[in-house]
Chain A
Amino acid sequence: MSTAEDSRYYNDHDDRVGPKFRNRKGRGPFRAPLYSDQVTVGPRSRPRGGPRGGRVPGPRARFDDGDGDVAMSDSSSQDGSSQHRFNPYGRQNRRTDDRFERGRGGGRGRGGNNRGDAAIHNTWFKMSIPHGKKYDKDWLIRGLQNICSVPFTPVHFHTEGNRAQFFVDDSTTANALTRVSRKITDKEGYKVTVLMNPCPPPACLLSELKSADLEHLKQCMAKRFDGSQQALDLNNIRIDPDLVSQNIDVTLNTKNSMRAVNKIIQENIPELVCLNLSNNKLFRLDYLSELVSKVPHLKILNLSHNELKTDRELDKIKGLKLVELWLERNPLCDYFKDQATYVSAMREKFPRLLKLDGQDLPPPIVFDVEDTPAVLPPCKLSYYGSEEIKNAILAFLQQYYSVYDSGDRQPLLDAYHDGAIFSLTVPFTMVNPSRCSLGEYHKDTRNLKKIKDPTTRFRLLKHTRLNVVAFLNELPKTQHDIASLNVDVNTFTNTLLSFTVSGVFKEVEGKSRDSFRAFSRVFITVPAGGTSLCIVNDELFVRNATTEEIRQAFVAPAPTPSSSPVPTLSAPQQEMLNNFSQKSGMNLEWSQKCLQDNEWDYIRAGQVFTDLKAQGKIPDVAFIK
C-alpha cells in the first residue's frame, strides 16, 4: 500500500506473493507482518518514517496517537511472528477498552459509554481500503457486502489520496469488515485490504445537508409517507437505500439531520398525524421538540428502539396531543419499577394517551379546553348570488370570449365603455415554470410592487376603449376553456356588477403555441340596455397553468365552429374511421364525430376518447352499432 508520501516504495502494492517484508529501511528483525494483517490499525496520512502508512508495530516505534484513539498498547501483535499474522477471528482489537464492548450491542448496553459528550454517543470506525481509489465504488462495496458476515451500509464513502474510505458506526461491523480483508482479489491480481480505525463521528454528519441532498431526502420521505393515513415512517432512515446511494447521511440523532427532516415535514406535510422515529439511536428530543408546534394534528408517535435514557426527554415534546405512543426498548423503560408507574408517568405528560406500547389504556377524563387546530372552510365553485345575475354573466362571457378567441379582438370595442381602463399583471415567479415563459406578457405587466416610477405606472394603465382594445389585440391569440370558467360575483348594485372570472386558456399561435395559461380576471361592468353589460374596468392576471390544471383543461372536446352537414369522406379518412370505430367500439357516427373534432388526428382522437371514456363521459348510445 502506498500512501502518497511513501511512493518511494515501489512494489509496495504488490502483495501477490504473500506478505513480504516491505520495510527495507532499517527496521530490524522484528519487522512486523504487513500492517494489513493488523486489524486494529488504519492507515494514516501522516508522514511517518517507518511503517508505510500503517502502524506496523516496529516495537513501540512511532505510534501515531494523533487522535488518541489508536493505541497499540499490547505487544502481542508486534512480534514479527507469524502466529498473529493471520488471526482474523481472534479478538484482534487490542483495545479491549470498553468502547468495543459498548459498541457491540449497538443498542441498549451503553451504560458505560461515557465520553461525556452528549452529542457524540456513537462509536464510529473509519474503514480504509488502501489503493481503493482505483476501484469502482459499487464493485468495491458490493464485493465487501457479499462476503462480509455483517450487513453494513457505508457512510460517506470517499477517497483520500489513493485510499478509499467510509465509516461504519459499530465495532461488530467494523471487525467483520476487517475479517474480509484480502479476501477479494481485484482484476489485476491484488488483494483488497480493509483496515479499521476508531474515530469521532465523521464531519459530514456535522454539516448541514445541501439543497440537492435535501431534495433527495424529501423524495425519500415522500416514499415513506402514506397520505391516506397521514403517516410518515422514518424507522432507521439512515440505511434507506435511496439516501445511501446518494451518500446522504441522515442520522436523526444529530441536529442537522433532525432539523432538515423537521423542515421538510413543516413545509410539506404539516397535517401529519402519525410519525415513526424508531431505530434512529435518538438519545435526546431537543430537536424533535422544535417540530411540536408545527404539527398540531400529530397524535401517534413511535419512539421505540432508541436511546432515550430518562423520561424527562419526553417533557420536551409535551406539547404534542398524543393519543398513541411507542417507547419500548429505550433505556428509560427500565427505570420504572412497574408498569403502573410507567403508564402513570406517560399519562402525566400526555393526558390524552389511549395506547402505550400497543396496550390500550382506559380513556382519560379531560378538560374541555381543547385548542382544536382550525380548519379551512371547503372551497366551492362559482358564486353568482342569483340566477338572474348568473344568466347575465354567462351570456356576457360566452359572447366576450367567442370574440376574444376569434383571432380578431377588434369587435370588443362594443363591449367596453369609452372611458374603460385595463391593466395586466403577471407574476415573476411561476407556479409551474414550463419551457413556455410568459415573455409576451412581461413587458406590459403592471406590478406596483416592482414598478415604482409613477410615469411607468401610468403608462402601463390602458385608458379609453380604443387603447384597451388595441392592446388586447396585441396579446397572443387564445382559446379559452369556457366550460371550465369559474365566476365569483364580488358586488352588484343597480349601477355596478363586478365579478372575477378564473380559468385556463391555451395560446394558439406563435412561439408560445400550445402553452397553457391560467388567469384571474376582474370585470367591473355597468348595465348596457337589456341584460347586457358594458365594461368599465378590466384587470387581468396571467400565470402558467399547473400540470393539474392542464390535465383538467379542455376535457370536453372544444366545440368546432362549423356545424355544417357531414362532408363526404376521402378514402384515407374512411379507412381511419373504420379503424377508429373498430378500436374504440363506438359506432361510425360517433367515431366520425370524435375524429372530426380532433381534426382527423388519429392519435389525438384516440387519446381524447380514452380520457373521456375513463371519466365515464361517453353515453352508451355511442356504442350501439
Chain B
Amino acid sequence: MATGVDFRSLVDASCRYSEEFTNIYYDCMDKKRRTLTRLYLDKATLVWNGNAVSGQAALADFFESLPSSEFSIQTLDCQPVHELATQGQTTLLVVTAGQVKFDGHKQRYFNQNFLLTAQSSPTTDQPVWKIASDCFRFQDWNS
C-alpha cells in the first residue's frame, strides 16, 4: 500500500492525467474520429449502451458508424486503481458525465468511465496511456 506522501502525489498526478486525457479524447471523438482507435489498447473493450465492441478493427468500424458528435463534459472525477487489481500496472479510473449531440439526433445526457493503463511505447521512452476499457451509457437509454 502506498505511503502517505506517495499516495498524495499519485492522486495529484492522476487528476492532471485525467484532465489531459478527457480533453484529448473528446476532441478526437468530435473532430478526428478516424484517429480515435489509436487511443485504445489492441484488446480494449467498449460497452456502449450495452453493446459490446472489442478489438481495434471492431472499434474502428463502430466509431465510423456513429454520426458526428458534439460532446460537452460537465463532471469529471478520477481515482488511481489499486495495484492489487492491476498486478502492478499503473491504472487510472476516469469517470465523466455530460451531454452529447449526435448529428440528426437530440442532445442527450450520458455517463462514461474509462480504465487507462500506462503502456510502454515501442517508439518512445516514455510510457503512454491507453484505454483498456470504456463504458458509455445515455442517462435516458431506457426511454
Q: Does A457 contact B (CB under 8 A)?
A: yes
Q: Return the CB mask of B32-58 against A: 1 if under 8 Å, else 0.
A: 000000000000010111111000000
Please list the 5 inter-chain residue pairs (A to B) with the smallest Cβ-Cβ separation, ordered nearest first. A380-B50, A536-B82, A374-B67, A379-B49, A496-B85
Chain A residues with Cβ under 8 A from B18's Cβ?
448
The yes or no answer to A568 lying at the interface (CB within 8 A) is no
Contact indicator A374/B65 (Cβ below 8 Å)? yes
Partner of A500, one of B2, B73, B137: B137
Q: Are A539 and B105 in contact (CB under 8 A)?
A: no
- What does the 1/0 interface line of B1-39 toward A look like (CB < 8 Å)? 110000110011001001100000000000000000000
Q: Using Cβ atoms and an 8 Å threshold, which residues of chain A touch B75?
A: 425-428, 447, 449, 541
Total contacting residues, chain B, CB less than 8 A: 59
> Nearest chain A CB to B135's CB is how many angstroms away?
5
A270 to B101, CA, bound (A): 11
One digit per residue, 1 when the CB lies within 8 angstroms of any chain B CB and 0 when it does not, for chain A 437-449 equals 0000000001111
Once bound together, how far apart are the Cα atoms of A262 and B139, in whole Å?
26
Q: Complex: how many Å from CA A446 to CA B15?
A: 11
Partner of A490, one of B80, B105, B115, B139: B115
Nearest B residue to A382 by beta-carbon distance? B50
In the complex with contacts A425-B95, A490-B115, A495-B49 CB distance below 8 A:
no
Task: Write the chain A residue with the least CB distance to B47.
Answer: A488
B81 touches A271 (CB 8 A): no
A363 within 8 A of B: no
Judge whether B132 is part of the interface by a CB distance below 8 angstroms.
yes
- Separation in Å of the B94 CB from the closest CB of chain A? 9
Closest to A418 in B: B1
Instruction: Report yes or no: B85 in contact with A536, Cβ–Cβ below 8 A.
Output: yes
Known contacts A448-B15, A491-B132, A541-B95; A496 and B79 CB within 8 A of each other:
no
Known: A271-B105, A429-B74, A541-B111. A420 touches B65 (CB 8 A): no
Closest to B132 in A: A491
Return 8 A-B CB contacts under 8 Å, by A number: A296-B104, A377-B66, A382-B50, A423-B79, A488-B50, A536-B84, A539-B77, A539-B93
Partner of A548, one of B8, B52, B107, B140: B140
Residues from chain A with a CB closer than 8 A to the CB of B49 are 377-380
Number of chain A interface residues as a range: 35 or more
Let me know if A491 and B95 touch, CB within 8 A.
Answer: no
Q: Is the CB of B104 within 8 A of A454?
A: no
- CB neighbours (8 Å) of A419 from chain B are 1-2, 82, 84
Q: Which residues of A contact B45 (CB under 8 A)?
A: 490-491
Query: Hey, which chain B residues are within 8 Å of A536, CB to CB?
Result: 81-82, 84-85
Which residues of chain B have C-beta atoms less than 8 A from A375's C-beta? 67
* Binding site secondary structure of chain A: mixed
Cβ < 8 Å to A, chain B residues 84-143? 84-87, 93, 95, 97, 102-107, 109, 111, 113, 115, 132-135, 137-143
From A374, A447, A502, B66 is in contact (CB under 8 Å) with A374
B87 touches A552 (CB 8 A): no
B76 in the interface, Cβ–Cβ < 8 Å?
A: yes
A54-62, A342-350, A507-515, A517-525: which lies at the interface = A517-525
Query: With A381-B50, A536-B84 as given contacts, are A376 and B66 in contact (CB-CB < 8 Å)?
Result: yes
A contact residues around B59 at 8 Å (CB): none
A382 surroundings in chain B (CB, below 8 A): 50
Q: Is the CB of B97 within 8 A of A520?
A: yes
The smallest C-beta distance from B41 to any residue of chain A, in angstroms, reads 10
CB distance from A527 to the nearest CB of B (A): 10
Bound state CA distance, A378 and B12, in angstroms?
38
Which residue of A418, A431, A447, A537 is within 8 Å of B81 (Cβ)? A537
- Inter-chain contact A520/B86, CB cutoff 8 Å: no
Chain A positions within 8 Å of B, measured between CB atoms, are 267-268, 270-271, 296-297, 373-383, 385, 417-421, 423, 425-429, 431, 446-449, 454, 457-458, 461, 463, 486, 488-491, 495-496, 498, 500, 502, 518, 520, 522, 524-526, 536-537, 539, 541, 543, 546, 548-549, 552
Pairwise interchain contact A385-B81, C-beta atoms closer than 8 A: no
Residue of A421, A431, A457, A489 near B82 (CB, 8 A) is: A421
Beyond A379-B49, A380-B49, 8 extra complex contacts between A and B, CB < 8 Å: A270-B106, A378-B51, A385-B52, A427-B74, A449-B73, A449-B76, A495-B84, A502-B111
Q: Is the CB of B106 within 8 A of A268?
A: yes
Partner of A379, one of B50, B78, B82, B106: B50
Q: Are A496 and B86 in contact (CB under 8 A)?
A: yes
- Supposing A490-B115, A491-B132 touch, asked if A380 and B51 sit within 8 A by C-beta, the answer is yes
Docked Cα-Cα span, A383 to B133, in Å, equals: 14
Question: Once bound together, how far apart are the Cα atoms of A546 and B141, in whole Å?
Answer: 12
User: Which B residue sits closest to A419, measured CB to CB?
Assistant: B1
Pair B104/A271 contact, Cβ less than 8 Å: yes
- Please name all residues of chain A whose beta carbon is closer than 8 Å to the beta carbon of B84 when the two chains form the complex: 417, 419, 495, 526, 536
Q: Interface centre among B15, B79, B109, by most A CB within 10 Å?
A: B79
Contact residue among A376, A383, A427, A461 (Cβ-Cβ distance under 8 Å from B102)? A376
| Interfacial chain B residues near A447, Cβ < 8 Å | 75-77
Q: Could you say which residues of chain A place their CB within 8 Å of the CB of B97?
A: 425, 427, 520, 541
Q: How far is the CA of A286 from the CA of B11 in the complex (A)?
A: 54
Shortest Cβ distance from A296 into B: residue: B104
Q: Are B133 and A498 in contact (CB under 8 A)?
A: yes
Q: How far is the CB of B67 from chain A (nearest CB, A)?
A: 4
**Interfacial chain B residues near A449, Cβ < 8 Å:** 73-76
Are A495 and B85 CB-contacts (below 8 A) given A490-B47, A490-B115?
Answer: yes
Residue of B nearest to A535 (CB): B82
**Is A539 a contact of B113 with CB atoms below 8 Å?**
yes
Q: Residue on A with the closest CB to B11?
A: A458
CB distance from B61 to the nearest CB of A (A): 11
What A residues does B109 contact at CB under 8 A? Answer: 431
| A380 to B18 CA separation, bound complex (whole angstroms) | 28
Given contacts A447-B76, A496-B85, contact A379 B15 (CB under 8 A): no
Distance from B74 Cβ to chain A, minimum over Cβ atoms (Å): 6
What are the residues of chain B within 8 A of A373 when measuring CB–CB? Answer: 67, 103-104
Using known A-B contacts A380-B51, A491-B45, determine if residue A502 contacts B132 with beta carbons closer than 8 Å. Answer: no
Smallest Cβ-Cβ distance to B1: which chain A residue: A419
With A270-B105, A447-B76 as given contacts, are A524 and B66 in contact (CB-CB < 8 Å)? no
